[in-house]
Amino acid sequence: MCFFKKWREKRKAKKLANESKNNVMTSNSNDTLETAINKELSKQEHQSENTKTPVEKETVEKLKIRPFSKPKVSNQEEIEWPKKEVILEDKQETTNNDQVDKDELEDVLVDEQDTEEEKLVEELKSKKSPEHHSRKYQGKYEVYPESKSYKFRLKASNGEILCVSFRYSSEKGALSGIETFKKNVEEGLFKIMTDKNSFSQFHLYNTNGARVIMVGEMYQSVSKANSAVDSVKKFYDTDKIDILDEVPKSEIREEDIEFESVEESNMGKYEILKENDFYYLRLRASNSQILFTSQGYSSKSSAKSGLKTIQKAIQDKNFTVAKDKQNRYQFNLYSATGQILVTGETYSQKSNSISAVHSVLKFGLKAVITEA
């Protein structure tokens, strides 16, 4: 028992010694660690003071590249990340920027549109004169001799004959007639005349309607005659004039008539009729066939005065027979000065037109005057 007791006491003493030793080592270690920590903190504070700005910048830079993480929130705090104020601020800023960009873009588009419109206006202005100038040279006039007289004709750019003048005694007279024609296309009056055979053609009168300046080609409808007027207006204003020595026989439009002996009769009649503020003379044969209709007169008295001039030309037999490009025929009656007084009805055969001339000779001098 004594041995065991001594052994226990000895073991206890050894254990206490070991614990005491361990406590001393632990204390020393803690002191050493604490000392080292204190030294390190002191060193860092010293460095922080010397390099405060760079450290802060470095920290900021590191924070910039650090990804955002959703912070922990309590149950009482509303779960919103990022905050609404940040979203609204960004959205408003973006909206403002977009609005500025949109306004700037609209300003640019408006400026570009205005610029384009100004360019278009300038382009149209610049083209106005050349277009008119180009239009003048699309057609041309030709002056040529025919049956001991001279004429001019207007051609379109494709060579189509649009109209042929009446007779002039000289080439100079024909050239002067071109200028008269141009003036009356601009200032005169176009009328569409339709005869008893339903052929239509335009008559160009001077400004007061007292004189026929030009008679157009003959067409089978009023619409085609109106189209011919449009073509004349399109090509008339050209300065190009060709002087021809002659034209092919097939293009001769007018020729003199060989008259037969005719016995005059009083069975015909002249009708004075009013149409569109003008008065016209119409000669009918004994069978009521229409032989011709005169040009318009401004009053009934001037129509009666014009009849005397017509009867004088009938007596002098100043007739010719003319044809158009479709080989349709009608007669012309001229005054002593070469002015056109009457154009006859339209016929498909030359002989029929000459027969109508003889009927005018028969009834035109003794016919009575009536009012239609």
Spatial CB neighbours of 272, under 8 Å, sequence gap ≥ 6: 279, 280, 281, 300, 303, 304, 369, 370, 371, 372
- Distance between CA 106 and CA 113 in Å, rounded? 10
What average pLDDT does range 45-72 have in this prediction?
Answer: 51
Q: What percent of the chain has pLDDT over 90?
A: 51
Would you say 227 and 207 are in contact if contact means Cβ atoms under 8 Å apart? no
- Binning pLDDT at 50, 70 and 90, where does residue 99 land? low
Phi-psi region of 2 (alpha: psi -120 to 50; beta: other; left: phi over 0): alpha
Which of 138, 186, 146 lies closest to 162 in space, CA to CA? 138
- Arithmetic mean of pLDDT over the chain: 79
Q: Which of these, 17, 285, 245, lies nearest to 146 by C-alpha position?
A: 245
Q: Which amino acid is at 291?
A: L
Structure tokens at 337: 């000065």
Can you tell me which residue has the tokens 């010719």?
Answer: 320
| This prediction's pTM | 0.58
**Per-residue pLDDT reduced to its tens digit, 263-289:** 999 999 999 999 888 899 999 999 999
How high is the pLDDT of residue 38? 65
| 9, pLDDT greater than 80 | no
Q: pLDDT value at position 175?
A: 97
Comparing 133-147, 234-248, 336-350, the range with the smallest average pLDDT is: 133-147
Q: What percent of the chain has pLDDT over 70?
A: 66
How would residue 1 be classed by pLDDT, with cut points 50, 70 and 90?
Answer: low
Q: Tens digit of pLDDT for each residue in 111-164?
A: 555 556 566 556 655 554 444 444 454 799 999 999 889 999 999 999 999 999
CATH of 140-251, one of 2.30.29.80, 2.70.70.10, 3.30.379.10, 2.160.10.10: 2.30.29.80
Cα–Cα distance, 262 to 361 (Å, whole number): 7
Give the model's confidence band at 49: pLDDT under 50 very low, under 70 low, under 90 confident, else very high. Answer: low
How confident is the model at residue 277, as a pLDDT?
85
Tokens of 138: 């699309």
Instruction: Supply 101's token pair.
Output: 């960009």
pLDDT, residue 337, reads 86
Return the CATH number of 254-371, one of 1.10.150.20, 2.30.29.80, 2.60.120.260, 2.40.320.10.
2.30.29.80
The Cα-based distances of 198 to 222, 225, 242, 346 in angstroms read 9, 12, 35, 9
96: which 2 tokens? Answer: 């403002």
Separation of alpha carbons 121 and 127, rounded Å? 10
Torsion of CA 179, 183, 184, 185, to 10 degrees: 100
Please report the pLDDT score of residue 79 as a whole number.
47
The DSSP code sequence of 244-301 is -S---GGG--EEE--PPP----S--EEEEEEETTEEEEEEE-TT--EEEEE--BSSHH
Partners of residue 243 on adjacent β-strands: 143
Q: Which amino acid is at 74?
A: S
> Which residues of the chain does CATH 2.30.29.80 include?
140-251, 254-371
Q: For position 155, what pLDDT does the model report?
A: 95
Q: How many helices (H) and strands (E) does the chain have?
A: 7, 15
**55: confidence class by pLDDT, cuts 50, 70, 90:** very low
Q: Among residues 155, 140, 165, 164, which one has the least CA distance to residue 239?
A: 140
pLDDT for 87 equals 46
Residue 352 sits at the vertex; the CA angle it makes with 346 and 353, to the nearest 5 degrees, is 55
pLDDT tens digits for range 288-334: 999 999 988 889 999 999 999 999 999 999 999 999 888 999 999 99
Q: Place 42 in a pLDDT band, splitting at 50, 70 and 90.
A: low
Report which of residues 3 and 131 the model is more confident about. Answer: 3
Residue 181's closest CA among 255, 227, 235?
Answer: 235
At 86, the pLDDT band (50, 70, 90 cuts) reads very low
> Residue 259 above 80 pLDDT?
yes
Instruction: Identify the pLDDT of residue 8.
Output: 72
